[in-house]
Structure 1
């Protein structure tokens, strides 16, 4: 057994590898071959879930051929249309059966040879998420690397989960944790932050992984993702800090607007009634009224959001906490009881 293999005590674990693919007909076959060669002697049972995200080329057809070649541990999930990487990843996670779940891209840029080592590290260090760090990236510096570094710094600063590479799809999760995380929109790049809602930040780490230049097809990355990252980041911050108390998010904004608006109205009232000045054409009057109206709207929105939050948790029987485990020990019998 190789040095990357899981120890004998851990052989009972099953690892699910989830790979979303979209228009990757040339990459599917070498990808499955690389995964099979990397895991066939790893020392644990594994399955591969190829999630075809509505490809418009022959990706689905090639994937079906590969499934016939390699056997039933290669599972194929075909989505009705192109829903995006996040939805495809969520579909694969929901259909997986593994105790540990690995995700990676289908373009051959992530190296499947890193998987056994990462799974072993996650188990040895008792982590809930291990993120790959493409330290030596084989991408265009201007289009990919610079925006990525800025985004990594910004996300780490605002969420408190400081990682060097949020964008690396090669990640290993504890199955019981990631299945409690629901991914929407294009939130796959914020998975460590979403996981941090459920577990302590200390249970999330990163490790250097290999990275290869794209061999086939074209990158799906465009510069338009930059503004979407900023919008998604706002949503992540809200859910991380104010998911169960949304009024604490809207309330301070409303109170700040109301305080400034009230101060402006007091100044104008003083000038009108004590100094006899005309204030009808003053811009401050319009701004003050608008700020007070905004304050009422923000505070009202916070109250309504609070009601919706409580209704959601109560109607769905969800709690604002999650158990890791419940430990019960039988009390020891004393001599007087025996």
Structure 2
């Protein structure tokens, strides 16, 4: 299997020779029902990366479009060369699955993503690569400060979502929803995207690298010219559910027993206090407690406590089995001082 990137046009030096002094780059663009944007999008990507000083490839993922987007991508892509690769999913799986397919296929040392609706400017990518390398980041997130979208349908839900995500996760960024990002491939490929996780990619990346290695930079944004938006105000409610999952896996992914156990202990303490009061009323004061609502509340709290505690134990067993398989580790090594093949024995 060929894992090298097919050569794409790169910037030339004063001697006329190609300058390849930047890491190889894979540009991943998920598309759904964007047939009118295919040709201008491919043109702008090539214009924007014409001066990129390294090998690059373009991976377009058609997320099961029914308007001919996949066929148009293949036809137009053939005009540019083998560095344009098209992946067509069997049906519409969603933007997260499309991005994961692109990440899996990417062969570059860096990966850039952007939407296929022409609202992101591909010309920002070379500058973002320079900034990511200069700041020694693992992820550089775009920030659409001058966003060209309707306030109620797009800006308002985005502002609410950004505030919630930053408050709950502690990874504060201005624009989580901007698809224009640049990653180090070795880092983003440590993350497996499922469900609607593309909204929380910086949060998931913070689970495999230090938060200070995640940055943001202002990028250009333009109004949509063709097609219709796939987002609306309803997205805010889905974000709330996704945010709960992100918070749980970020804080308690490797120790779920602490999450369920804390809730179980809380219910257990409250239930024990209520039950102790009932016992005092029964045996200390000699009063009848069989019909008192507090007795049933105390029993309920104790039962719920036992359920949460046992759920925590089962979750811990599942997590330990998961990591004991040897295919996954909770820690990530950035570098180590001694080569793996070095002789560890020492004599004097």
**TM-score, with structure 2 as normaliser:** 0.90
Output the CA distance in 2 between the equivalents of 1:140 and 1:125: 33
Cross-structure match for 2:338: 328
Question: Using the alignment, how far apart are the partners of 2:234 and 2:173 within structure 1?
Answer: 23
Shift of 1:264: 0.9
The whole-number CA distance in structure 1 between the counterparts of 2:83 and 2:231 is: 31
- Tell me how far apart the structure 1 counterparts of residues 22 and 47 of structure 2 sit (CA, whole Å): 20
Structure 2 unmatched runs, 5+: 1-10, 13-17
Question: In 2, Cα distance between the equivalents of 1:128 and 1:105?
Answer: 20
Q: Distance in 2 between matches of 1:12 and 1:214?
A: 32
Q: In structure 1, what is the Cα distance between the partners aligned to 2:141 and 2:218? A: 9
Q: CA deviation at 1:214?
A: 0.9
Q: Does residue 304 of structure 1 match 2:314?
A: yes
Q: 1:174 aligns with which of 180, 184, 191?
A: 184
Show the counterpart of 1:197. 207
SS in 1 for 2:123: helix
Report the alpha carbon displacement of residue 13 of structure 1 after superposing the two structures with TM: 1.6
Are residue 272 (structure 1) and residue 282 (structure 2) matched?
Answer: yes
Aligned counterpart, 1:35: 45
The Cα of 1:152 is off from its aligned counterpart by 0.8
Within 5 Å, which residues of 2 pair with 1:74-223?
A: 74-223=84-233
Q: CA deviation at 1:50?
A: 0.4
Structure 1 residue 63: deviation in Å?
0.5
Distance 2:62 2:19 in 1: 35
Runs of 4+ that moved beyond 6 A: none
Shift of 1:293: 0.7
For residues 319 and 153 of structure 2, the distance between their equivalents in structure 1, rounded to whole angstroms, comes to 40
Specify every segment of 5 or more residues in structure 1 that has no aligned partner in the other structure, as ranges: 3-7, 332-336
Contact 1:11–1:45 under 8 Å retained in 2: no
In the alignment of these two chains, the number of paired residues is 327
Shift in Å, 1:223 = 2.3
SS in 2 for 1:310: helix
Deviations 1:40-84 (A, max 9, x none): 222111100000000011101111111111111100000000000
What is the distance in 2 between the residues matched to 1:139 and 1:128?
A: 29
**Distance in structure 1 (CA, Å) of the matches to 2:112 and 2:275:** 59
Q: Aligned-pair distance for 1:9?
A: 8.7
C-alpha displacement of 1:224: 2.2
The Cα of 1:265 is off from its aligned counterpart by: 1.0
Cα pair 1:130 1:172 within 8 Å, conserved: yes
Q: What are the Cα deviations for residues 68-121 of structure 1, in whole angstroms up to 9, with x where unaligned? A: 111111000000000000000000000000000000001111111101100111
